[in-house]
């Protein structure tokens, strides 16, 4: 067994996530945010009267871009304290000792991590709206393509392919609603000190609580949060992480449902998720067009359920004013959950762009199934023509079972469902009436088309509200 020399990469980040998401969670990116934050605190403290030389702040600013991860790592392996090692690194680079005054580690890390979460949530909101837009476009494209709707995976009633896509759209809209609610109310922990009482900053400012409040307000505004918590301990309540991760888990559902149906349709030869240039089928079966991307989306959904369990594992786990039993969990769960939903949406937008319906195959299925799909309509018409509902139901059931049985035995030409019904006294409709009914194919999809139109309008509102979503383009998939 060889010893691994190279760094083991974060697979979710390196194989699946976008550059923008990686930038939020990379070690370098985080350190740059941290240093900005320290500098902002120093500036605020100086403005409010602390004796911090302007030159010192300048010196910090000069070196803030010098990120040497190896040097920081060496310090941490000696100090066994991650924040301390980064303080000493930054102090060492600048030649001063003015950062982190009156701060505890969590005054730094809680806020920096919440900023990463907030920016990542905002990115996911844009990306979800981009997926919504693409889904809406495909839904409109197939607005009137009649398909054999299925419940329990067997033919049930007609619908349209556009409507089937719009169902996934409805679920995505609900997921975006929730995500948006969360982003809008997401509160920062703020500058609260070791046990949450703001004691250390108050001491720095000689008991002047107003100055501390002013300082916190400056910092929170600098970070870009709309809200700030009042009553925290060392840490913010971890159930807020559950709020975050389950919002991602919920968002995934719409994509997984949609692409599960793509996989089912592909199995019946009705659709492809697309076949990219250069891609090969499995090495043994070169002609196969597999729904690899749709299957991968299912996998991302499963992964998110795991991170949601980790988030749930943190709730209710705080002792007194807090501890670090959540620390290693959040180091993994937060970035990885965002990498997973990011990879899912990258893949989903790609699939939505590439998928295609085999319209002739769909038409062929409709031709076989339509008389069966129409039984509900026939039942309704029979009731309107005077039949008792349960009586007509029984008659149709008998004939449908008999006709279906012929098909399953390989004798479709013997099915003759329409003729069977016409010949039964319990159904007050003759063959001519029944055939006329079946020829009105637009009668069978109900409100499907209009429902698609509604979905289009709902989508347009979100796109208008977040125009930056139009710039989201998925990278090429691995």
> Which of positions 235-254 make contact with its own copies (CB under 8 A)?
237-240, 242-243, 246, 249-250, 252-254
Rule CB under 8 A: say whether 210 interacts with its own copies.
Answer: no
The residue among 54 and 360 lying less far from its own copies, judged by its C-beta, is 360
**One of 22, 127, 133, 211 touching its own copies (CB under 8 A):** 22
Cβ of residue 430: shortest distance to its own copies, in angstroms? 18
| Pairing between β-strand 356-357 and β-strand 187-188 as defined by DSSP bridges | unpaired
**Which range, of 37-45, 125-133, 332-340, 466-474, touches its own copies by CB under 8 A?**
332-340
Cβ of residue 259: shortest distance to its own copies, in angstroms? 9
Cβ of residue 205: shortest distance to its own copies, in angstroms? 10
User: 476: closest CA among 229, 279, 188, 215?
Assistant: 279
- β-strand partners of 157: 149
Cβ of residue 119: shortest distance to its own copies, in angstroms? 7
Distance CA 445, CA 122 (A): 38
The residue among 130 and 421 lying less far from its own copies, judged by its C-beta, is 421
Rule CB under 8 A: say whether 465 interacts with its own copies.
Answer: no
**Residue 160: its H or E element:** strand 154-160
SS3 assignment, position 271: strand
The residue among 430 and 440 lying less far from its own copies, judged by its C-beta, is 440
Rule CB under 8 A: say whether 266 interacts with its own copies.
Answer: yes
Residues 365-394 that bind its own copies (CB under 8 A): 372, 375-377, 379-381, 383-384, 388-390, 393-394
Rule CB under 8 A: say whether 472 interacts with its own copies.
Answer: no
**Residue 148: its H or E element:** strand 146-151
Residues 390-429 that bind its own copies (CB under 8 A): 390, 393-394, 396-397, 399-401, 403-404, 407-410
Q: What is the DSSP secondary structure assignment for residue 58, as one 8-state letter? A: H
The residue among 44 and 233 lying less far from its own copies, judged by its C-beta, is 233
Cβ of residue 438: shortest distance to its own copies, in angstroms? 13
User: 234: closest CA among 174, 165, 324?
Assistant: 324
Cβ of residue 58: shortest distance to its own copies, in angstroms? 20
Number of residues that bind its own copies (CB under 8 A): 214
The residue among 40 and 264 lying less far from its own copies, judged by its C-beta, is 264
Cβ of residue 66: shortest distance to its own copies, in angstroms? 13
- β-strand partners of 238: none
The residue among 44 and 149 lying less far from its own copies, judged by its C-beta, is 149
Residues 148-187 that bind its own copies (CB under 8 A): 149-159, 163-164, 166-167, 169-171, 174-175, 177-178, 181-182, 185, 187
Distance CA 135, CA 124 (A): 16
**One of 44, 190, 196, 274 touching its own copies (CB under 8 A):** 196
Binding mask 286-315 for its own copies (x = CB under 8 A): xxxxxxx--xx-xxxxxx-xxxxxx-xxxx
**One of 198, 350, 366, 459 touching its own copies (CB under 8 A):** 198
Let me know: does 297 contact 259? Beta carbons within 8 Å.
yes
Rule CB under 8 A: say whether 39 interacts with its own copies.
Answer: no
User: 136: closest CA among 469, 477, 474, 478?
Assistant: 469
The residue among 54 and 284 lying less far from its own copies, judged by its C-beta, is 284
Exposed / middle / buried, residue 211 (Cβ in 10 Å: 0-12, 13-18, 19+): buried
- DSSP track, 203-270: HHTTT-HHHHHHHHHHHHHHHT-SEE-SS-SSS--THHHHHHHHHHHHHHHHHHHHHHHHHHHHHTTS
| Pairing between β-strand 356-357 and β-strand 271-272 as defined by DSSP bridges | antiparallel
For the record, the structure tokens of 180 come out as 């948006």
Rule CB under 8 A: say whether 317 interacts with its own copies.
Answer: yes
Helices (H), 48-160: 54-63, 69-79, 82-94, 105-141
Residues 56-115 that bind its own copies (CB under 8 A): 69, 76-81, 83-84, 87, 97, 100-105
Distance CA 23, CA 358 (A): 40
């Amino acid at each position: 067994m060889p010893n691994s020399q190279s760094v083991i990469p974060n697979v979710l980040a390196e194989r699946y996530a976008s550059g923008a998401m990686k930038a939020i969670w990379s070690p370098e990116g985080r350190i740059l945010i941290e240093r900005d934050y320290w500098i902002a605190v120093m500036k605020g403290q100086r403005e409010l009267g602390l004796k911090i030389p302007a030159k010192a702040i300048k010196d910090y600013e000069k070196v803030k871009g010098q990120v040497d991860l190896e040097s920081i790592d060496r310090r941490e392996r000696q100090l066994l304290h991650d924040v301390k090692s980064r303080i000493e690194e930054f102090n060492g680079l600048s030649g001063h000792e003015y950062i982190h005054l009156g701060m505890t580690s969590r005054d730094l890390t809680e806020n920096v991590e919440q900023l990463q979460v907030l920016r990542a949530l905002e990115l996911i909101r844009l990306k979800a709206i981009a997926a919504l837009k693409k889904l809406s476009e495909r839904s409109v494209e197939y607005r009137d393509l009649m398909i054999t709707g299925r419940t329990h995976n067997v033919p049930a009633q007609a619908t349209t392919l556009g409507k089937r896509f719009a169902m996934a759209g409805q679920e995505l809209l609900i997921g975006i609603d929730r995500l948006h609610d969360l982003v809008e109310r997401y509160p920062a922990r703020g500058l609260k000190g070791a046990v949450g009482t703001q004691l250390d900053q108050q001491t720095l400012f000689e008991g002047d609580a107003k100055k501390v409040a002013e300082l916190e307000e400056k910092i929170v505004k600098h970070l870009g949060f709309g809200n700030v918590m009042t009553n925290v301990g060392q840490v913010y309540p971890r159930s807020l992480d559950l709020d975050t991760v389950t919002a991602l888990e919920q968002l995934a559902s719409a994509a997984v449902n949609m692409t599960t149906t793509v996989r089912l349709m592909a199995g019946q030869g009705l659709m492809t998720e697309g076949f990219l240039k250069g891609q090969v089928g499995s090495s043994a079966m070169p002609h196969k067009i597999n729904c690899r991307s749709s299957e991968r989306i299912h996998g991302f959904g499963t992964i998110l359920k795991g991170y949601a369990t980790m988030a749930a594992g943190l709730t209710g786990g705080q002792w007194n004013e807090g501890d670090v039993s959540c620390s290693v969990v959040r180091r993994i769960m937060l970035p990885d959950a965002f990498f997973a939903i990011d990879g899912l949406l990258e893949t989903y937008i790609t699939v939505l762009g590439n998928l295609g319906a085999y319209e002739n195959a769909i038409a062929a299925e409709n031709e076989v199934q339509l008389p069966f799909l129409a039984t509900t309509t026939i039942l309704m018409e029979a009731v309107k023509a005077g039949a008792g509902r349960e009586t007509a139901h029984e008659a149709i059931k008998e004939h449908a079972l008999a006709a279906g049985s012929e098909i399953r035995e390989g004798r479709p030409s013997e099915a003759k469902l329409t003729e069977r019904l016409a010949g039964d006294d319990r159904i007050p409709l003759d063959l001519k009436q029944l055939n006329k009914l079946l020829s009105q194919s637009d009668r069978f999809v109900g409100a499907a088309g209009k429902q698609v139109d509604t979905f289009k309008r709902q989508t347009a509102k979100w796109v208008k509200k977040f125009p930056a979503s139009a710039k989201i383009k998925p990278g090429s998939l691995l």
